[in-house]
Amino acid sequence: MDLFDKIQETTVFIQSRTAIHPTVGIILGSGLGTLVEAVTIANEIEYEDIPHFPVSTVQGHAGKMIFGTLNGKAVVLLAGRFHYYEGYTMEDVTFPVRVMKELGVQTLILSNAAGGMNKNFKVGDLMIIRDHINLFPEHPLRGKNDERLGARFPDMSEPYDLSLIKKAQQIAATQQVNIHTGTYIGLQGPSFETPAEYQWLHIIGGDAVGMSTVPENIVAIHGGMKVFAVSIITDLGIQDNPVKITHEEVLEAAHKAAPILAGIIGELVKEL
């Protein structure tokens, strides 16, 4: 079965389990599951029950698809994402984005926990992603292109929608939240970066680094979706004295900042 047919089969199954027709999709990053509390939930489907869906293996990723409304808008949330470092193919990692597009999603909102490389950042800060640098060893569009899914060579001149960025900045100002914008670098992982790697990544233009988001963005753009993304800065890589970091500490920092991020995303969805 080719990718297009898998998408169709999965979509038909999901539509048999919910009456929600989402126009907004949200992928929740590490520790950001608290955003679900703002959603009026209609249906939840475990990943393991969905045809052709992989299953998240990482702590902090719940592993279910949630349908409901957020500030009056029909939404679908992925509580838990898939990562290339887990051993999945890029097709697996980005398959949920394809399915959300087929379900009717026009705007994709991404969140993640990231290491900060900008000296103006501190742990717990939010950074709107305005651009990215793709350093993954595999590209999600590599291979034969199916024109039913998107163009062979998608334009990436505006990977993150500028109008959504502007709205989010206005919302943050109204809510008196200090929010940064910057460039996110996507790496394979799963090891955190060495001090020299952090320095190099900052030199080439990165403000934050993580192990997700970029493949999802590329596939969303390929499918004609608008994308908005935010990183929670959960650790700092540019320091005179490098500090050891654990995944548990990343989750703790993400949990603390998640309510602030939820307030901004909730208002942004309302204005779509």
CB contact at 8 A, 201 and 224: no
26 φ/ψ angles, rounded to the nearest 5 degrees: -130, 125
Instruction: Tell me the per-residue pLDDT of 15-24, one tens digit each, with 9 for 90 and over.
Output: 999 999 999 9
CA angle 183, 188, 194 (to 5 degrees): 75
Cα 26 to Cα 229: distance, rounded to the nearest angstrom:
10
Residue 245, domain CATH: 3.40.50.1580
DSSP per position, 59-85: TT---EEEEEEETTEEEEEEES---GG
Whole-number pLDDT of residue 239? 63
Q: How many domains does the chain have?
A: 1
Instruction: Provide CB contacts within 8 A for 4, sequence distance 6+.
Output: 146, 148, 149
Instruction: Tell me the per-residue pLDDT of 230-264, one tens digit each, with 9 for 90 and over.
Output: 999 988 886 665 566 677 776 777 777 888 888 89
- Please name which of 133, 141, 126, 91 lies closest in space to residue 229, comparing C-alpha atoms: 126
Cα 137 to Cα 155: distance, rounded to the nearest angstrom:
20
Whole-number pLDDT of residue 23? 96
Instruction: Provide CB contacts within 8 A for 90, sequence distance 6+.
Output: 84, 136, 138, 139, 140, 142, 215
**Which domain covers residue 169, as residue numbers?**
3-271
Whole-number pLDDT of residue 161? 98
Mean pLDDT, range 89-98, rounded to an integer: 96
Strands 24-28, 208-210: pairing is: unpaired
